[in-house]
Amino acid sequence: MADGFDRALQDLPPEARWAEWLRRIEAVLFASATPVRREDLARVVGADVSVDVLIGDLALALTDRPYEVVQVADGWLLRTRAAFGPIVRAAGDVGAQGLDLRAFDIAVLAAVAYHQPITRDGLKDIFGKEISRDLIGRLYDRNLIATGPRSPRRGAPYTFVTTDQFLVAFDLQSLRDLPDQEQLQDAGITDQAV
């Protein structure tokens, strides 16, 4: 108990122990601004406790609540259910949570998402023009992209990849949830492969 709390809770009956672990998981997810990974959640419950089962029980317990547990990449977070978004924005102080991105910014983000890891030259090949450092900086500052591995080309340029915050911002659990590129073209959302 070096950190001030008992993980195992052996002095509690099983139902009370489980309820306390659920409250701990909910408290961590409630307080976190980013998805919380399984190994981090495991640090607040007993050693032999399944975080996945706890998350499932918490999700079930929140069924009738205005917020839900969602998995993003390899972590979880609490998020207001979409139906309550307008209500929260109308009365709550939600700060500047909007992305405020231009259409071209989103197109560049999509290109990074579909082709990562990708260099600035790779983006230039897709769009037929140089992608400004300012645009890359805006996406980086919003934590939507990060630097990836160095390219194995001459000069080993940096590459760009999307982040967990990208997944959160676009309501994706993983990159597998991205729309199919052909569907985007068929819908007229893009006139070229991103």
pLDDT at residue 190, as a whole number: 58
Closest CA to 145 of 181, 182, 176, 120: 120
**Domain end call among 38, 65, 91:** 91
Q: Are residues 110 and 176 in the same domain?
A: yes
Exposure string (b/e) for 159-170, b if CB count within 10 Å is 16 or more? bbbbbbbbbbbb
Q: How many CB atoms lie within 10 A of CB 154?
A: 6
Q: Which residues contact 124 (CB under 8 A, 6 or more apart)?
A: 130, 131
Boundary (domain end) residue, out of 45, 63, 91:
91
Note the pTM of the prediction, 2 decimals.
Answer: 0.63
Q: Is there a cis peptide before residue 35, judged by omega within 30 degrees of 0?
A: no
Q: Give the pLDDT confidence score for residue 88 in this predicted structure.
A: 81
* Tokens at 149, concatenated: 């591995």
Residue 9 is assigned to a structural domain of this protein: no
71-80: average pLDDT = 89
Asked whether the beta carbons of 52 and 65 are under 8 A apart, the reply is no
Residue 82 to residue 33: CA distance in whole angstroms: 18
Tell me what the pLDDT averaged over the chain comes to: 85
Q: Do 111 and 68 fall into the same domain?
A: no
| Per-residue pLDDT band at 165 (split at 50, 70, 90) | confident
- pLDDT surpasses 60 at 194: no
Predicted confidence band at 93 (pLDDT cuts at 50, 70, 90)?
low
Quote the domain boundaries for residue 168: 103-186
pLDDT band at 192 (very low <50, low <70, confident <90, very high): low
Total count of residues recorded for the chain: 194
List the CATH number of the domain containing 118: 1.10.10.10
What pLDDT is stored for residue 118 in this prediction? 92
The stretch 127-156 carries a mean pLDDT of 88
